[in-house]
Amino acid sequence: MTQVKAGDKVRIHYTGTLADGTTFDSSQGRDPLEFTVGSGEIIPGLDSALPGMAAGDKKTVEIPCAEAYGEANPEARQAIPRAQVPAEIPLEIGTRLQLQTPQGQVMPVTVAEVTDDEVVLDANHPLAGQDLTFAIELVSIG
C-alpha cells in the first residue's frame, strides 16, 4: 500500500481543537484540504505527521505551539490613540481588522484591548501561543 512521503500531493479531512476541546477549524462539510507534503503550505507539526500514512488512515496528533503558529510575540501588540481610529471601525475585543503598512502590505490584526484613550491591536496569529490537536484522515495520495 502506498504511503505518504515528502513531495506527495495529499487530501485530508481534519478537525482542529484547542487544549480545552474547543474546535477552531474543521474540513467537515467541505472538500478535503489539498496540499503538497513538505512544501510549507501547512503548519510544520501537521505536515510532519503525514509521512508513512496510507489512504484511509486516521490519527490524532498533538502539536505544540512551536510547531504550529509559534509563541505569541508581545512586540506584535501595538497601542494606538483611540482618536486615530475612524468612528465606523468596530472596536469590540476579538474583532479582526486589516491594516495597511507604510510599504503597502495588508496586515491582519485583532482588537485586543479598548480603553477610553487607546486601542491595542494584536498582529499575532489568533492561534499563536496555543498547543493544537488535529484529528486527521488521509483521504488520498496523488
Give the tens place of pLDDT for each residue, 76-114: 999 999 999 998 998 999 999 998 888 999 999 999 999
Predicted structure pTM score: 0.82
Query: What's the whole-number mean pLDDT along residues 66-81?
Result: 95
3-state secondary structure of 64: coil
pLDDT of amino acid 100: 86
Among 27-31, 103-107, 121-125, name the one with the lowest average pLDDT. Answer: 103-107
Between the alpha carbon of residue 116 and those of residues 82, 85, 100, 140, the distances in Å are 7, 12, 24, 53
Query: Domain-by-domain residue ranges, the chain?
Result: 3-70+128-141, 74-122
Cα–Cα distance for residue pair 13/137, rounded to 1 Å: 5
Task: Give the contacts of 140 (CB within 8 A, at least 6 positions apart).
Answer: 10, 11, 32, 55
Summarised one tens digit per residue, pLDDT across range 44-62 is 999 999 999 999 999 999 9
CATH fold for the domain made of 3-70+128-141: Chitinase A; domain 3 (3.10.50)
- Range 74-122 has CATH code 1.10.10.10: no
Mean pLDDT for the chain overall: 95
